[in-house]
Amino acid sequence: MGAKPPWKDIPDTTLVPAGAYEVVVKELADTMSKSTDTARAKLMYVAQLKIAEPKGYKGQIIFDRFTIGTNDDPEGTDRETWKSSIAARRMKQFLKACKIDLGDDMDDTIEAVEGQHCVVMVRLDPAREDKRSGRTFGESNNVTAYYEVGAPGVTIGVPRAAAPPSAAAPRAVVASPRATRAAVSEDGNAEKGTKAGKAPKAEVTTCPICGDTAVPRAGVIAHVNAHSAEGEEASEE
């Protein structure tokens, strides 16, 4: 008898929604990026991050790439190349989130980080065209930030889209001499004579990137992703 795949439970795509995920580092490998007509192959580290939470996405793999080399120093042998690299700063954030010692030998670092846990902020980018090369890319996931598991203000999960407001059923209004009278403004809109109650204060947290102390918890993922321009590596290639 042949295998019985659980097709209903197998995702239709390798992409995940924007959100915060707890991951375990499956692998961190050093390689070289692909060369092009205008760019040389460069030293690059590729991280395979296996989702542990939320359970609905457990086992799926998120990739992140850290391109260290440059056209002038493709193998990243110059310390100045590392010091000026945005990708090196992102990889340092990743390694610190995994709570490992930052040694001076990447072979030891690669061995130490495998199997460690951290939290990643992920965004889902739409299909786009690269204006420099003319190539078209489909939807893709990008890691925008790394945090230690249990970091304050970081909640694991995928935010749900807000439901559209439903139309209220019309109600008959009975006029009463004691009812609060409504004033009519110059543009014809009715203004209530009673004061509106205060809106409940939203639960807020602090953005670890920009330092804003009044970010609503419900929107913290979108807020962090909006500040993730520094995480882009396209400018280095």
- pLDDT tier at 125, thresholds 50, 70, 90: very high
At 92, which helix (H) or strand (E)?
A: helix 86-97
Which pLDDT does position 52 carry in this prediction?
98
Give the C-alpha separation, 37 to 237, whole Å. Answer: 12
Start-to-end C-alpha separation, the chain: 50
Give the position of tokens 């809106």. Answer: 199
- pLDDT tier at 181, thresholds 50, 70, 90: very low
Whether 230 is covered by a domain: the verdict is no
pLDDT above 50: residue 233: no
- pLDDT tier at 175, thresholds 50, 70, 90: low
Whether 174 is covered by a domain: the verdict is no
94: CATH? 2.40.50
What sign has the CA pseudo-torsion 219, 11, 128, 46?
positive
pTM of the predicted protein model: 0.67
Closest CA to 125 of 145, 136, 139: 139
Whether 200 is covered by a domain: the verdict is no
Which pLDDT does position 136 carry in this prediction?
87
Which pLDDT does position 130 carry in this prediction?
83
Whether 201 is covered by a domain: the verdict is no
Q: Give per-residue pLDDT as tens, 187-229.
A: 445 444 444 555 455 576 666 556 666 777 667 666 666 655 4
What sign has the CA pseudo-torsion 199, 201, 203, 206?
positive
Whether 218 is covered by a domain: the verdict is no
Between 20 and 233, whose confidence is greater? 20
Q: Are 119 and 149 in contact (CB under 8 A)?
A: yes
Closest CA to 30 of 101, 113, 147, 102: 113
Whether 211 is covered by a domain: the verdict is no
SS3 (DSSP) at 68: coil
Mean pLDDT of 30-48: 92
Q: Are 143 and 122 in contact (CB under 8 A)?
A: yes
Which pLDDT does position 184 carry in this prediction?
45
Whether 123 is covered by a domain: the verdict is yes
What's the structural domain count of the chain? 1
Whether 62 is covered by a domain: the verdict is yes
Mean pLDDT of 11-33: 95
Mean pLDDT of 140-160: 94
Indicate the pairing of strand 117-125 with strand 19-32. antiparallel
Domain with 141 in it: 11-152
- pLDDT tier at 131, thresholds 50, 70, 90: confident
Percent of the chain with pLDDT over 70: 69
CA–chain centroid gap for 65, Å, is: 15
SS3 (DSSP) at 197: coil
Q: Give per-residue pLDDT as tens, 71-119.
A: 999 999 999 999 999 999 999 999 999 999 999 999 999 999 999 999 9
List the single range of 28-37, 46-55, 106-115, 130-139 with lowest mean pLDDT: 130-139
pLDDT above 90: residue 156: yes
Give the C-alpha separation, 144 to 207, whole Å. Answer: 13
